[in-house]
Each structure stands twice: as C-alpha cells, then as structure tokens.
Structure 1
C-alpha cells in the first residue's frame, strides 16, 4: 500500500447509497403511468454513475441510476421500452420543449406572485 493510496478514489462519487431495486421500482412505476416512454442512457462521469433518463411522449422526464452499463441495457427488457445511447442520438427535442414550457410557467407564476 502506497503512502497516498488510501486517498485515491475508487470510482465515481455517490451522493447517497440508494437501493438499486428501489430505483428499478421507481422506473417501472414511472413507465406505467406515462405514455410513449423511451430511455436514454447517460455515461458515467467523475461525479455520477451510469444513469438513465426516461422521456415520455409529452416531454416529461425523470433520471435515475441504471446499475452500470449492463443494468442500463437490461432496462429495455425489464421495462419493455426502447433504450438509446444519449451520446449517439442526443436528447429528444420534446424533452427540451417540455423544459422550456416549465420555465415559462415558473416565470409567469413568479410575476403573478409579485403583483
């Protein structure tokens, strides 16, 4: 063991130790309550694990850990939805449109609160 080896990080830093089964249950529930859901796998970074973004037909979306590359690929069968690599196909326009609508709604509410 080297002098500084105990300070070396071993993989991505995790914000919390959430249960992978709970993440999968959440994703299954989300898919069952939304129409036209597709999954987009995001790569591991120095801060986060591999994550998956579920995007509904109306653009609403959610993000959860995917259990690594293998777990992300298994989601297609487990959730019965198409799974895409976000680095290859990018995020869908409907997701950006949904965020833009939400931003406009928040600005309107803030203006009404000031009146």
Structure 2
C-alpha cells in the first residue's frame, strides 16, 4: 500500500541502513580513534529496532561511552576487525555498572550547574 508521498508503509517502518548493512567508514574511523585513545574499552551491540538501526556502544574503563550505528550484522564483524575491541550483546549482558554510574554522575553535575546558574541570575536580578 502506498501513501500520498509514494512510499510504501513497510519502507517507513525500517530505519535507514548503512550501505551493505555494515558500518559506515566515518563511524568505523571514529570508533577506532575513540578506542585507541582510551584504556579498558568494551563494546556492547544494541539490536535493531523499528526506530534505530543496529548500533554499538563503546565504554572505557572510567565509564565514558560513545554510540555509533553499525548498519546490520555484518557491521559487528567489521567493528571487531577494525578496532579489536571485545564485543558483547547488550540484550544478553546489559551495560557495565561503570557506564550507569558515569551517566548518573554526569546528570548530577548538570543539575548542580543549572542550580548555580539560576542562583547567579537571581543574585544579578537582586542587585539591579
């Protein structure tokens, strides 16, 4: 079935994939650079969903992380061969605690910065 814009409904449900169902060259280059500059990097493959194509999350020893699309199953092999980072399936293993701790710490830091900015604005308004 086609809609007004000439695209089938089925095609609207699928996320845009990388060429050849594998990782894009620029994404692989980014992951190589990112993992080479950090220690203790592990990768966690995230499954394809209706909204997103398959992706990988790299997490370093401190919990800092980055995410890139890898297209499809062929991308898993390409990422491993291109970076040498051990890969796990996030659905099976979950994400490491150090990543969750880092996300929470970063959230707290952002909230504190917002509070400081609000206080500074209030003090400036009081001085006027």
Fold shared per TM-score above 0.5: yes
Cα distance in 1, alignment partners of residues 25 and 46 from structure 2: 19
Q: How many angstroms apart in 1 are the aligned matches of 2:64 and 2:100?
A: 9
Aligned residues: CA RMSD: 2.2
Runs (4+) off by over 6 Å: none
Match of residue 14, structure 1, among 4, 16, 31:
16
Secondary structure of residue in 1 paired with 2:10 = coil
Greater helix content: 2
Residue 49 (structure 1) aligns with: 53
Say which of 101, 105, 125 aligns to 1:97.
Answer: 101
Unaligned runs of 5+ in 2: 120-128
**Which of 63, 66, 76 is the matching residue for 2:80?**
76
CA contact (8 A) 1:41 1:84 kept: yes
The answer to whether the Cα contact below 8 Å between 1:42 and 1:53 also exists between their aligned partners in 2 is: yes
Partner Cα separation in structure 1 for residue 78 and residue 87 of structure 2: 9
TM-score by length of 1: 0.86
Greater CA radius of gyration, 1 or 2?
A: 2
2:43 paired residue among 35, 39, 46: 39
- Long gaps (5+) in structure 1: none
Deviation at 1:9, TM superposition (A): 2.5
